[in-house]
């Protein structure tokens, strides 16, 4: 069980709260708690920094590969018991956190889900609390030697090496999340296929799915009412104009003069249904699908979700998923000579999810949104569009700049 101080999460504690830890045997280091006097890679010779950064990464991985927990920096210990609050010397907590996150980027398959708290002491130093969450993406590993590497997990009050059987189980759990997301998407698509009549058999389903959707549940109706919020703002740029309507899954929203509708699930999933009748028009040699007109809904909902739902469900990975149903043989692209060159070759397009890896970070969010736009166009079979080239160039530039910024 995760430790609490004065019935508060360690992320919410004040400097006075942390005084309870000193000399207290109830707060010894254990599975979910570790003390560090300082960050080991600070104030040491340059030739030793690399090994200490590796140690820092392995500490984070060990908690992410176990059952989550806290590392508290700025508190020394004696035989696992907190002995003194010394603090960490930090000039700018925001920059310091960014620097720490950058040091974790080499961890695979992604940076673990972590939260920071900086608690300033009277001497100007800080206690730094890092909460590492468990999720479905373990095992986490930082490989320093391709020929001989180890995967660590937190066990008791120390790091231990993950066994083969444990490693196999972690991979199975990771695969389960991908399967559960796909199963959910297909279930929703099948429901709406049976729901719509022939006149509305073409539709798009857009989902934003938090990675913790299986473990998190909030009562959205009560939250909206008590906080005087308008959660419908997620869909306000997508023809949705009704107030929230409570339903068994969460909150439902509709277009009072059309068939578009949205749903916010209590587990954080956003769902938008767009009938495509007006976006597939009869033209010479067939029907043309207007992908640019459809994309704008995905764009505004993604931005609305980031603005409205992020404060509720916090920093984690979010899966953006597009499904197009009923558009087989629709033309999506013509060449420079005016010939229709590309038709959709299937009736259902279940696009691979694109992950909003750091939805709080504006630059990362908009780069991931570009990836989603590109995935959408490529899934339709669009090749020659200027937008495809523009998106590829922008994504490559961001990745190039990002790699330069993150070099050790």
All structural domains of the chain, each given as residue ranges with its CATH number in brackets, are 4-162 (3.30.950.30), 175-405 (no CATH)
Non-local CB neighbours of 309 within 8 Å, separated by 6+ positions: 208, 231, 234, 264, 268, 270
What DSSP string runs through 358-382?
Answer: TTTSHHHHHHHHHHHHHHHHHHTT-
Mean pLDDT of 136-151: 72
For residue range 85-140, list pLDDT tens digits in order: 999 999 999 999 999 998 998 888 888 889 999 999 999 999 999 999 887 677 88
% pLDDT > 70, the chain: 91
Model confidence at 9: pLDDT above 50: yes
User: Mean pLDDT over residues 228-236, rounded?
Assistant: 90
Closest among 64, 69, 32, 255 to 162, alpha carbons compared: 64
Reported confidence tier of residue 148, pLDDT bands at 50, 70, 90: low
Contacts of 245 (CB under 8 A, 6+ apart): 251, 252, 253, 254
Whole-structure pTM value: 0.64
What is residue 88's predicted lDDT score, i.e. its pLDDT?
A: 95
Strand intervals (E) in 121-219: 126-132, 152-155, 158-161, 203-210
Name which of 148, 65, 69 is nearest 107 in CA terms: 65
According to DSSP, residue 121 is labeled: -
pLDDT at 19 > cutoff 90 = yes
Q: What is the mean pLDDT of the chain?
A: 87
Query: Which pLDDT score is estimated for 12?
Result: 94
Query: Using CB atoms within 10 A of its CB, is residue 196 exposed (0-12), middle (13-18) or buried (19+)?
Result: middle
> pLDDT for 262-313, tens place per residue?
999 999 999 999 998 888 888 777 788 889 999 999 999 999 999 999 888 8
**What single-letter DSSP state applies at residue 43?**
S
Q: Which one, of 354, 357, 307, lies nearest residue 207 by Cα?
A: 354
Query: Which range is least confidently modeled, 135-139, 326-330, 362-366?
Result: 135-139
């Amino acid at each position: 069980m995760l430790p609490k101080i004065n019935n508060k999460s360690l992320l919410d504690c004040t400097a006075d709260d942390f005084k309870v830890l000193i000399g207290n045997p109830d707060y010894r280091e254990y599975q979910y708690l570790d003390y560090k006097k300082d960050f080991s890679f600070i104030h040491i010779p340059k030739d030793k920094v690399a090994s200490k950064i590796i140690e820092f990464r392995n500490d984070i991985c060990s908690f992410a590969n176990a059952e989550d927990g806290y590392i508290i920096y700025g508190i020394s210990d004696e035989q696992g018991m907190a002995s003194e609050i010394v603090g960490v010397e930090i000039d700018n907590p925001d920059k310091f956190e960014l620097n720490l996150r950058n040091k974790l980027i080499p961890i695979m398959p992604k940076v673990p889900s972590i939260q920071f708290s900086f608690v300033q002491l009277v001497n100007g130093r800080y206690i730094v609390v890092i909460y590492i969450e468990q999720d479905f993406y373990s095992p986490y590993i930082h490989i320093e030697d391709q020929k001989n590497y180890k995967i660590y997990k937190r066990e008791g009050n120390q790091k231990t090496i993950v066994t083969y059987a444990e490693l196999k189980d972690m991979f199975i759990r990771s695969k389960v999340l991908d399967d559960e997301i796909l199963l959910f998407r297909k279930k929703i698509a099948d429901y709406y296929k049976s729901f719509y009549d022939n006149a509305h058999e073409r539709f798009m389903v857009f989902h934003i799915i938090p990675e913790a959707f299986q473990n998190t549940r909030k009562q959205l109706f009560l939250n909206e009412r008590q906080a005087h919020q308008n959660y419908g703002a997620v869909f306000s740029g997508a023809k949705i104009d009704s107030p929230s309507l409570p339903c068994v899954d969460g909150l439902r929203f509709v277009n009072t003069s059309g068939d578009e509708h949205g749903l916010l699930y209590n587990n954080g999933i956003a769902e938008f249904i767009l009938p495509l009748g007006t976006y597939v028009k009869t033209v010479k040699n067939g029907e043309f699908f207007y992908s640019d007109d459809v994309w704008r809904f995905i764009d505004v909902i993604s931005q609305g979700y980031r603005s409205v739902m992020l404060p509720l469900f916090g920093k984690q990975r979010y899966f953006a998923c597009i499904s197009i149903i009923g558009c087989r043989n629709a033309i999506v692209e013509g060449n420079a000579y005016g010939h229709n060159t590309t038709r959709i070759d299937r009736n259902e397009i279940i696009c691979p999810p694109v992950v909003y890896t750091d939805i709080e970070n504006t630059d990362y969010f908009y780069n991931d949104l570009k990836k989603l736009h590109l995935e959408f166009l490529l899934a339709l079979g669009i090749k020659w569009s200027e937008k495809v080239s523009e998106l590829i160039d922008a994504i490559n530039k961001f990745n190039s700049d990002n790699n330069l910024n993150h070099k050790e």
